[in-house]
A and B are shown apart, each in its own frame.
Chain A
Amino acid sequence: MKVSLNWLKDYVHLKGSPEYISNLLTMAGLNVEKVHHVNDDVIFEIEITTNRPDWLSHIGVAREIHAVSSASFRLPPSAIKQNRNASKKIKVSIENNQLCPYYSATILEGIEWHNTPEFMKKRLQACGIRTINLIVDTTNYVLLEWGQPLHAFDLDSIYGEEIIARPAREGERINAIDGITYELRKNDVVIADQKGPVAIGGIMGGKETEVHEKTKNILLESAFFKPSSVRQTARRLVLGSESSYRFERRVDPEGVDKARERAVYLICKYAKPKQVSTVFRSGRAPVVTNKIRLSQSEIRRILGIGISNSQAKSFLKRLGLFVSIAKNSLITKTPSFRCDLTRPIDLIEEIARLYGYHKIPETLPELVPIDLKDNPVIKLEDRLRSLATSLGFNEIITFSIVDEAILKKLEFADQSVRLVNPQNKELCLMRPNLLSGLAQSIRRNIFNRQTDLWFFEIGNRYAKNDNNQLPNEERMLGLAVSSEGRLSWLEKKRAASFYDLKGVVLEILKRLNLNSIELKSSDHPLFESGEAMDVYIEGDNIGHFGTLSERVRKIYDVDKPVYYAELSIEKLAKHAQKSIKFNELPKFPSSPRDLTLIVPDDLKADAIINRIKEMAGDLAVKIEVFDYFKGGNISKGKKSLSFRIDYQAKDRTLQNEEVNKLHFSIIDSLNHLFGAELPKAKFTSATQ
C-alpha cells in the first residue's frame, strides 16, 4: 500500500527525515519496500501483512506511529452542522445477515459539481488512485483515510424505493463500472434495487447506477460484508479492487459509520448538497471486543525477559486497548479495529514489538540430549553423493514437474500425478522417473558443444496411488553418461560405453556393502534391445541401467549415445548392511593363470565365468576379463576372450600340478559345453 507522508501528518505529529520514518515504520512491522519523493510529498510503499487490515488506511498507519513513538494522534473532523432531513427516502434491508451483517446508506440531494480539491487529487494520485469526479474521489479519499470502502450510487438511476443486500440469484448478471458483464452465483453478495443487482457487494458498483457529472442526488453506501465471501467472489471473478482487498481482510466494524459520516462531511464541504438524509440502516456492525487476561509469567515464559505490568499496560493502551492491572496480570479489552488480538500470545507479540525486538537480549537455549532417529535414506543419499562425485559425476538438480508431451510419447503419462493448475500448460506432470531432467540436461550441454557429460541427480519420483491416497514418493538416484571421452596428450580419447556405466553401478553397489547383487538382462522399453540390465539385491528389483534406445533419444532430441541408470535409494537403504565383515588376509600365495578362448560370438562372458566358478569352487578367488577381440585371425562368428584366474586356497599353498589339473579340466569343460577353443598359435598362456 502507498502511504503519503503529508497525509499522515494530518493525524499524527510526526518529525524526522523520510529515512527515519521509513525505519520507524519498518521496525514496527510496516515493512517499507520503497520510498518515493513526489513533489513536496514522500510516498512510502508498505507491505501490509494480512493480520493487520487496520493498517490499510492512513489513520491506521498514523495510529501505529502513535503507538510506537508516542507522537500525539488525532482524528479528522466528521460532524456536520446541516439538519439531517431529505425529501427522498429509501428502505434498506438485508436478506442474509451472514453474508452482509450491516448495511447503511445516506441520501445527499442536490449536489453541486465542482472540481475535486487540489490536495485531495494530489494525495489520491500519489497513492496510485485515478481521480474521476468529486464524489467518487471523495469516497476513494475516505477509503484511503479510514480503510472503509464506500460506494456512491446515482439515486435517480435506482429503481424503486428499496435497496436490498442479498445473495445473488444463480446466473444473475450485472454490468459493472469496468464495462464487463459478470455472471453471479448464489454465494455472491449483491446490492439490488427492485429490478436487479446494482453492485457486487464489496467489490464493484454497477454501470447503470454509476455517479457521473449530471448526477443530482446520490445514495452513499457504507457496509460490512463477510470477508471470506468477498474473497471468494473476487477471486472467482478475477476482480480484485481496493474495496474487495479491504473487505476480504475485514474492515473495522465501527469504521463503517465513522467513514460514512466523514464522507458526508467532505461532500457537504465540497459538493454542498441541499439536503442530507438521516442514516438508513439494516443489521448491526459485528463489533468484536475480546477480553484477554495476560499474566506476567506468560510474558517471561515466551520472551525470556520480564516486562513490568505498568510498562506493558502503557504499550497496550497506546495501541488502543483498555487495560487494567490485577495482581500479576493485565486485564485487557481490545478495540474493534484489532480483531487480530484474541489470545494472550497476541498481546505478548504486541508488547515485544513496542518494547523493541532489538532490545531483547540474545541468549542460547539449554539443550538436552535427544535420542536422534536414524534416517537411513538421508544417510545413504549423502553416501551416494560422495560416491558419484568421486566416480566423476557432476550433480544436477532438475524440475520434478515435467513435460506431458514427452511422457505421452514414452507412455508414462497415464501413471503420472497430474497438476490441475500448472504454471505452464506443458509442465503439468510429476516425474515418474528421473529421465526427463537428466536427458534434457545432457541435450542442453551437447547443444553447448560439451562432449564429456557425466551427470547424476538425487530426487523423488512420483506415482499415483489408488483410492485417492497420497501418491508414492520414492527417492531415486539417476545417472546419465554421454561422453566422447576426454582430450588428453597422454592417452587416446575413448568414448564412454555401456560398460563404463555398468562398472559405475556395480562399484556403487559394492561400496554400499550389499549382499547378493544380481544383474539380469532387461527388456525395459527405455533401452536399446539387449543393452540393459535390471539390478536385484536379495531378489528385490532396485533399478536398471542400459543404453538409451534411439527412439527415446529422439524424443529428447539427443543425437549422441546416452547411458542411463536409475536406482531406488529407498530400496537400497533397506538392504544396505550396517557393518562390514572383515575377511582374514590370505596366508598362502595365489597362482594366476591366463586363459584365452575362441568362442562363438553369441556366447556371453557370464556363462564362461559362471562355469569356471562352478568348476573351481572356492579356489578361483578372482576371475577377470582382460581382453576381448573380434576380426583379424579370428574367424567370422567367433570372438576371442581372455581371462585371468587367480587360484588360491585358504589352507595350503596350491601346487603347480593341482592348479594345472584344475585349469585344464576347466578348459576341457568349456570346450565341451560351449565349443570354446584355445587359440591355434599358442597351446596355453599359463603364467605364474
Chain B
Amino acid sequence: MTDLKALQDEISAKLAEIKDAQALESLRIFYLGRKGRVADLFHEMATLPREERPRFGQELNRLKEFAETAFRKKQQSLTLFLAAKSAFDETLPGITPRIGRLHPITQTIHEITEIFSNMGFEIVDGREIETEFYNFTALNIPLDHPSRDAFDTFYTEQGHLLRSQTSTVQIRTMENRKPPIRILAPGKVYRPDAVDASHSFMFHQIEGLLVDERTTFSDLKGIIHLFLRKLFGKNIQMRFKPHFFPFTEPSVDVDISWGKGWLEILGAGQVDPAVFKAVGYNPAKVQGFAFGLGVERIAMLKYGIKDIRLFFENDVHFLEQF
C-alpha cells in the first residue's frame, strides 16, 4: 500500500524547488493530472480489501486537497515574485550616507591615548610656541651644548621658539601640580628639517609622564611593553637599548620586533633629577618615568604608509582609506 504521508512530503519538497510557471504546470500534471499519481491511487483503491477502502479513501482525499492548495499557493507566490522581479532592481547601488572620517594621525593618537587613559593617565594639552626654559633649560639641555644638535628649532622674531618636542608639557604640568602625576600629552612639534619622505618640519608627538614616590625603571619596562602589546598585538617583542636623553636617566630607545629585525619605536627613561629640581620637586622623594613617541612614525608602520608628506597633503583618496 502506498505511503500517503511520504507522498505528501515528496510533493512539498518538489514544490519548494520550483522557480517558474512552466515547471510548476508539469509538476501539477504529474501529480494532479487526469493520469497523474493521485488519479492512479484512486484506481489503486479498488484493489484494496473492502474494509480498508474507507480509511484509505479519506486519507487520499485529504492528500488531494493538500496538493491542490499547495499548488495554488505556489502559483500565487510565483506570480507575485515574477511581477515584482521585473519592476524592482535590488541590485542598484545603495545610497551611501555622507559620513566623514578622522585623519589617520587623529585615529592613531586616539588609539594610543585610549590605552593610557585606561591605565589612569590624563590627556593634557600644551602650548606650541614656547620659551627656551620649557623647551631646553628645564629639560636639562644647556645652551651651546651638543645635545641641542638633536633639537634643531624654529625661533620667532620675539625670541620664542616652536617647541621641538612635547616634553615641554612635562615641565608645565609639574610646575602646576604635585605628584602623583600621570599625563599623556599629544601635540604638534616643529623642527627645521628638509622635507622628504621621512621628514616633515611639523609632526606629532605624544609625551607620557608618570611621577610618584615609587615607580621604577622595571615598572617603565612593564608599562611600555603592555602599551606596545595593546597597540601592535600581544606577540610583539620589545627591547630596551641604552640611549641618551638629557631629561631622563637611565635613558632608553625602545625597539620592537618588525619583520626580520628591530625597529626603534619610542624613547623613554626615568625622569632625570635635574628636571625634578627645575620644577621644584625633591628628587630624593619623587621618581617616575617619561617617554615620547612620534605619531606619524607609528601611523606609517601600522598602515604601511611610506611617505610622511601624504599626511599633510590631505588628498581625499588618502583620507578616505582610514
* Residues 286-322 of B at the A interface (beta carbon under 8 Å): 287, 311-317, 319-320
> Chain A: interface residue count, which band?
35 or more
Instruction: Verify B239–A417 contact, CB threshold 8 A.
Output: no
Choose one: A232, A345, A389, A424; the contact of B102 (CB below 8 Å).
A389
Choose one: B100, B158, B312; the contact of A471 (CB below 8 Å).
B158
Choose one: A301, A358, A454; the contact of B240 (CB below 8 Å).
A358
| Any B CB within 8 A of the CB of A393 | yes
Binds A, one of B8-16, B38-46, B52-60, B210-218: B210-218
B283: min CB distance to chain A, Å: 8
A563: min CB distance to chain B, Å: 15
| Any B CB within 8 A of the CB of A27 | yes
Known: A365-B223, A397-B312. A248 touches B122 (CB 8 A): no
Distance A297 CA – B320 CA, assembled complex (angstroms): 55
Instruction: Verify B103–A367 contact, CB threshold 8 A.
Output: no
Instruction: Verify B249–A304 contact, CB threshold 8 A.
Output: no
| Any A CB within 8 A of the CB of B247 | no
| Any B CB within 8 A of the CB of A420 | yes
Binds B, one of A9-17, A370-378, A656-664: A370-378
Choose one: A353, A453, A471; the contact of B316 (CB below 8 Å).
A453
* Residues 152-201 of B at the A interface (beta carbon under 8 Å): 154-160, 162, 180-182, 188, 190, 192-195, 201
A440: min CB distance to chain B, Å: 9
Instruction: Verify A444–B239 contact, CB threshold 8 A.
Output: no
Instruction: Verify B314–A343 contact, CB threshold 8 A.
Output: no
Which residue of B has the minimal Cβ distance to A462?
B129
Distance A167 CA – B198 CA, assembled complex (angstroms): 42
Choose one: A29, A360, A388; the contact of B221 (CB below 8 Å).
A360
| Any B CB within 8 A of the CB of A390 | yes
Across-interface contacts of B221 in A (CB, < 8 A): 357, 360-363
Which residue of A has the minimal Cβ distance to B216?
A304
Binds B, one of A48-56, A284-292, A591-599, A668-676: A48-56
Across-interface contacts of A357 in B (CB, < 8 A): 221, 239-242, 250, 252
B207: min CB distance to chain A, Å: 15
Q: Residues 111-124 of chain B: 1 if any A CB is under 8 Å from the residue's CB, otherwise 0? A: 00000000110111
Choose one: B95, B100, B201, B287; the contact of A488 (CB below 8 Å).
B95
Distance A502 CA – B210 CA, assembled complex (angstroms): 44
| Any B CB within 8 A of the CB of A79 | no
Known: A362-B225, A363-B218, A389-B102. A490 touches B129 (CB 8 A): no
Instruction: Verify A305–B218 contact, CB threshold 8 A.
Output: yes
* Residues 137-167 of A at the B interface (beta carbon under 8 Å): none
A467: min CB distance to chain B, Å: 9
B234: min CB distance to chain A, Å: 14
Instruction: Verify A232–B144 contact, CB threshold 8 A.
Output: yes
Instruction: Verify B145–A303 contact, CB threshold 8 A.
Output: no
Instruction: Verify B241–A370 contact, CB threshold 8 A.
Output: no
Known: A304-B217, A370-B122, A395-B319. A468 touches B158 (CB 8 A): yes
Instruction: Verify A50–B223 contact, CB threshold 8 A.
Output: no
| Any A CB within 8 A of the CB of B84 | no
Across-interface contacts of A346 in B (CB, < 8 A): 249
Which residue of B has the minimal Cβ distance to A459?
B188
| Any B CB within 8 A of the CB of A364 | yes
Instruction: Verify B218–A50 contact, CB threshold 8 A.
Output: no
| Any A CB within 8 A of the CB of B71 | no
| Any B CB within 8 A of the CB of A621 | no
B96: min CB distance to chain A, Å: 9
Instruction: Verify B101–A394 contact, CB threshold 8 A.
Output: yes
Choose one: B101, B128, B149, B314; the contact of A460 (CB below 8 Å).
B128
Residue tally, chain B, CB below 8 Å to A: 85
* Residues 183-225 of A at the B interface (beta carbon under 8 Å): none
Across-interface contacts of B222 in A (CB, < 8 A): 362-365
Across-interface contacts of B319 in A (CB, < 8 A): 394-396
Across-interface contacts of B129 in A (CB, < 8 A): 417, 430, 462, 470-471, 473
The secondary-structure label for the interface of chain B is mixed
A422: min CB distance to chain B, Å: 7
Instruction: Verify A397–B241 contact, CB threshold 8 A.
Output: no
Across-interface contacts of B102 in A (CB, < 8 A): 385, 389, 395
Instruction: Verify A353–B127 contact, CB threshold 8 A.
Output: no
Instruction: Verify B154–A419 contact, CB threshold 8 A.
Output: yes
Known: A357-B241, A388-B100. A364 touches B190 (CB 8 A): no
Known: A301-B287, A357-B252, A419-B154. A29 touches B315 (CB 8 A): no
Known: A29-B243, A353-B250, A364-B222. A228 touches B144 (CB 8 A): yes
A293: min CB distance to chain B, Å: 14
| Any A CB within 8 A of the CB of B138 | no
| Any B CB within 8 A of the CB of A348 | yes
Distance A468 CA – B106 CA, assembled complex (angstroms): 33
Across-interface contacts of B93 in A (CB, < 8 A): 489
| Any B CB within 8 A of the CB of A401 | yes
Across-interface contacts of A395 in B (CB, < 8 A): 100-103, 106, 319
Instruction: Verify B202–A390 contact, CB threshold 8 A.
Output: no
Known: A302-B217, A363-B222, A489-B93. A50 touches B120 (CB 8 A): no
Known: A232-B144, A357-B241. A303 touches B158 (CB 8 A): no
| Any B CB within 8 A of the CB of A86 | no
Instruction: Verify B216–A417 contact, CB threshold 8 A.
Output: no
| Any B CB within 8 A of the CB of A456 | yes
Across-interface contacts of A369 in B (CB, < 8 A): 120
| Any B CB within 8 A of the CB of A391 | yes
Distance A360 CA – B314 CA, assembled complex (angstroms): 44
Instruction: Verify A304–B124 contact, CB threshold 8 A.
Output: no
Choose one: A231, A370, A460; the contact of B144 (CB below 8 Å).
A231
| Any B CB within 8 A of the CB of A70 | no
Which residue of B has the minimal Cβ distance to A350?
B250
Instruction: Verify A231–B155 contact, CB threshold 8 A.
Output: no
Which residue of B has the minimal Cβ distance to A472?
B129
* Residues 428-477 of A at the B interface (beta carbon under 8 Å): 430, 441, 444-445, 448, 450, 453-456, 459-460, 462, 464, 468, 470-471, 473
Distance A486 CA – B243 CA, assembled complex (angstroms): 54
B67: min CB distance to chain A, Å: 45
Instruction: Verify B217–A352 contact, CB threshold 8 A.
Output: yes
| Any A CB within 8 A of the CB of B31 | no
Instruction: Verify B244–A50 contact, CB threshold 8 A.
Output: yes
* Other 17 A-B pairs with CB < 8 A, given A366-B214, A401-B201: A302-B250, A302-B270, A357-B242, A360-B218, A362-B221, A364-B226, A367-B120, A389-B100, A393-B100, A394-B100, A395-B102, A395-B106, A396-B319, A399-B312, A401-B154, A422-B192, A423-B193
19 CB < 8 A contacts A-B: A27-B242, A29-B244, A51-B147, A228-B143, A231-B144, A345-B270, A362-B218, A389-B99, A389-B101, A396-B103, A397-B106, A398-B312, A399-B202, A420-B156, A445-B314, A460-B188, A470-B130, A470-B160, A473-B127
Residues of B within 8 A of A (CB): 92-93, 95, 98-103, 105-106, 119-120, 122-125, 127-131, 143-147, 149-150, 154-160, 162, 180-182, 188, 190, 192-195, 201-202, 210, 212, 214-219, 221-223, 225-226, 239-244, 249-253, 270, 272-273, 287, 311-317, 319-320
Residues of A within 8 A of B (CB): 26-29, 31, 49-52, 227-228, 231-232, 248-249, 301-305, 343, 345-346, 348-349, 352-353, 357-358, 360-370, 372-373, 375, 377-378, 385, 388-401, 417-424, 427, 430, 441, 444-445, 448, 450, 453-456, 459-460, 462, 464, 468, 470-471, 473, 486, 488-490
